[in-house]
Amino acid sequence: MQEAGNGGEEERSRATSNRCSDCMQEEDMELKWKKVVVEGKKVMLVPYMQEHVATYHAWMQDPALLDATASEPLTLDEEYAMQQSWAEDPLKCTFIILDKERILEKFSPGVPHVEAMAGDVNLYMNDLDDFETAEIEIMIAEVCSRGRGLGKEAVQLMMAFAIDHLKIQRFRAKIGESNGTSLHLFKGLGYEEVGRSLVFKQVTMEKFIKDQFRDNLKVFAASISVFDCI
């Protein structure tokens, strides 16, 4: 995870809350992200909870992951503070990715299932001039969960959730030039390069949602369930 944009945060929060009220069903708005579970064939997307922080912090000690996600190292206390701020921020939607093959016993909503943590997938809604565009990012941190299609499914699940519940029509991904895995993943999902930063060595890719692609994602959207984790 990383912060995407700064300044005018209070104004953006108000605008995004108004946007969500308009485009989400009332009960969905009240539940927000921390009460949503999205299930696919290989992964489950669950809210980022305090119980996940220690493992997430351990992941982010890896210089390769820091470089791939353009993140700065944080202390454990800073990581806990970041988790709390993200849980309360209507501009950011973040899920921990659980590898279903590594879930011990039966999945239980509201239980963190730390043993199955594989990575995270995030959505940023910071553009007040374009409420239908959001930035998306994905990280599969656990080596044993890589190379099995978990990242692709997690992105598809997040997109399906965002299209149905947030009315997002265009997704944007900013990827380091050296991150061949992510570049390949998003290209395979139909994202096209729209820009390149020589300074940040970063490629910007976008996907505009058309009717046929939306229909293809309906199977993922049908797997979204809501629960009370409090």
pLDDT one-digit tens code per residue, 35-63: 788 888 899 999 999 999 999 999 999 99
The per-residue pLDDT of the chain, averaged, comes to 83
pLDDT at 230: 46
pLDDT cut 90: percent of the chain above it: 54
Beta strands in 76-116 (DSSP E): 92-99
pLDDT one-digit tens code per residue, 96-122: 999 999 999 889 888 999 999 999 999
Two tokens, residue 196: 């390149």
Instruction: Specify the CATH number of the domain 9-223.
Output: 3.40.630.30
Query: Hunting for tokens 């999205």 — which residue is that?
Result: 38
- The residue ranking higher by pLDDT, 210 or 4, is 210
What's the DSSP call for residue 24? S
Q: Is 100 helix (H, G, I), strand (E, B) or coil?
A: helix
Q: How confident is the model at residue 71 (pLDDT cuts 50, 70, 90)?
A: confident
Q: If we measure between CA atoms, which residue out of 191, 81, 68 comes closest to residue 141?
A: 68
**Which residue type, as a one-letter code, is found at position 102?**
R
Question: How far is it, in rounded angstroms, from Cα 161 to Cα 223?
Answer: 9
Mean pLDDT of 68-85: 92
Query: Hunting for tokens 């998306």 — which residue is that?
Result: 136
Residue 158: count of CB within 10 angstroms of its CB: 26
pTM summary value = 0.83
pLDDT one-digit tens code per residue, 177-188: 989 999 999 999
Between CA 181 and CA 98, with CA 175 as vertex, the angle to 5 degrees is 60
CA 156 and chain centroid, separation: 10
Q: If we measure between CA atoms, which residue out of 173, 166, 163 comes closest to residue 122?
A: 173
Q: If we measure between CA atoms, which residue out of 122, 215, 211, 98 comes closest to residue 172?
A: 122
Question: How far is it, in rounded angstroms, from Cα 26 to Cα 225?
Answer: 16
**pLDDT for residue 207 is more than 60:** yes
Helix axes 211-221, 150-166, angle to 10 degrees: 100
Q: Specify whether the backbone of 63 is left (phi greater than 0), alpha (psi in -120 to 50) or beta.
A: alpha
